[in-house]
Structure 1
Amino acid sequence: MSKDDQPLLIKRYASRRLYNTETSDYVTLDDIAGFIRDGREVQIIDLKSGDDLTRQYLLQIIAEHESRGENVLPVDVLTDLVRSYTTQAQSVVPQFLAASFEMLREGQSKMMEGMTMGGMPNPMAKMPGFEAMQAQQEAFMKAMMGAWPGTGGSAGGSSAPAQDEEKAEDLDEIKKQLAELQAKLSGLS
């Protein structure tokens, strides 16, 4: 297995300093974010206890970017994530997010492949996989809405038209957010 196939091991000392075991030097959260942007997997381990702290530090990197105004996660998405920790739908969320990001990565790769020889993107091309991602997110929202108290779910009720209208509004909002995300992705290339 080559060095780049293995996760980059970062050790956290008692002083909370982070030590890159490959280069034998101390690193910052920005350095770790750079490794990840460059395609490296990173694993952060507490030197004394041996606990895996990777998740904690990745969340800290995201929080720092968001607090600096580099907003990627809309408030509605953050609210839904918080809500998912307190509902029965929590078991569905990790798989959905992983699948959505995988589709996003595949779409970005296909979009980069679809560029013309002159380096300019084809303005008529749609983002590959967008329809599939949209369908998956709609299915996820239906499953989520059915699991939340007060949304009807399988219990039914006399307010079904109002619930359908609310679900349609939620789906419209998700579609709007996906379109904004697609526009941002197009701007990156």
Structure 2
Amino acid sequence: MAKRDRDTDGPVTIKKYANRRLYNTATSSYVTLDHLAEMVQDDVHFVVYDAKTNEDITRSVLAQIIFEAEGKGQNVLPVNFLRQLISFYGDSLQGILPSYLEMSMEAFAKNREQMKEQFGGAIETPMKQFEDVTRRNMEMFQKAMTLWNPFVHGGNTPDQAPPAEETTQEGDNIGQLKGQLDEMQRQLDRLMKGRN
């Protein structure tokens, strides 16, 4: 499928009917979830509306695409990630998580093609490093949220400052994480320069 210019064409409208069929109004044809998955991969922006109520159901249709892909063995979402994601529903940080995940995915997507070109078949080692950094980022994010929000388990109330020893240790941990991120960025820069 050809890519569409989002700014000039706008999103493609997909209608979902009671019989669960999906109708692409731009091509005047019925489509499947696989077609919609291809549209996502081709960067074609679309919205899905319930044909009867005109309710925007894009989120649930995208989730269904992910569910079916995971069911076919195309596993992208680790079990622990899914557990953590589920644990955020109803949590006080639920409102912050979507923007955090969106920023993380955008950063990863920007680097995806460059990583494929640079590392070719030897992607496992850098991916392990990215997994480690991502895990540390989530831990740091959770610690930061705990410090900022007194209602989160283990957080301090505004009149209750963390012990000096704990603050120093967390500062050291953050400093170490920043150092590791900087070192990883330097390694990536050297790898990219070496390939050019």
> Per the shorter chain, which TM-score range?
0.5 to 0.7
- Selected match of 1:21 from 25, 39, 43: 25
Structure 2 Cα separation of the partners of residues 11 and 67 of structure 1: 24
Change (3 A) 1:3 1:149: closer
Letter in 2 for 1:152: G
Segment drifting more, 5-14 vs 75-84: 5-14
TM-score (norm. length: structure 2): 0.63
Runs of at least 5 residues in structure 1 that lack an aligned partner in the other structure: 169-189
Segment drifting more, 100-109 vs 139-148: 139-148
**CA offset at residue 144 of structure 1?**
4.9
Structure 1 Cα separation of the partners of residues 22 and 70 of structure 2: 22
**CA offset at residue 148 of structure 1?**
9.6
Letter in 1 for 2:76: V
Highest CA radius of gyration, 1 or 2? Answer: 2
Change (3 A) 1:28 1:12: same
- The aligned residue for residue 4 of structure 1 is 5
Does the 8 Å contact 1:114/1:121 carry over to 2? no
Question: Is 1:140 aligned to 2:131, yes or no?
Answer: no
**CA offset at residue 137 of structure 1?**
3.2
- The aligned residue for residue 98 of structure 2 is 94
Question: Is 1:154 aligned to 2:156, yes or no?
Answer: yes
Structure 2 Cα separation of the partners of residues 61 and 3 of structure 1: 21
Identical-residue share of aligned pairs (%): 37
Change (3 A) 1:67 1:92: same
Number of aligned residue pairs: give it. 155
Matches within 5 A, 1:81-120: 81-112=85-116, 114=118
**CA offset at residue 111 of structure 1?**
2.2
TM-score (norm. length: structure 1): 0.66
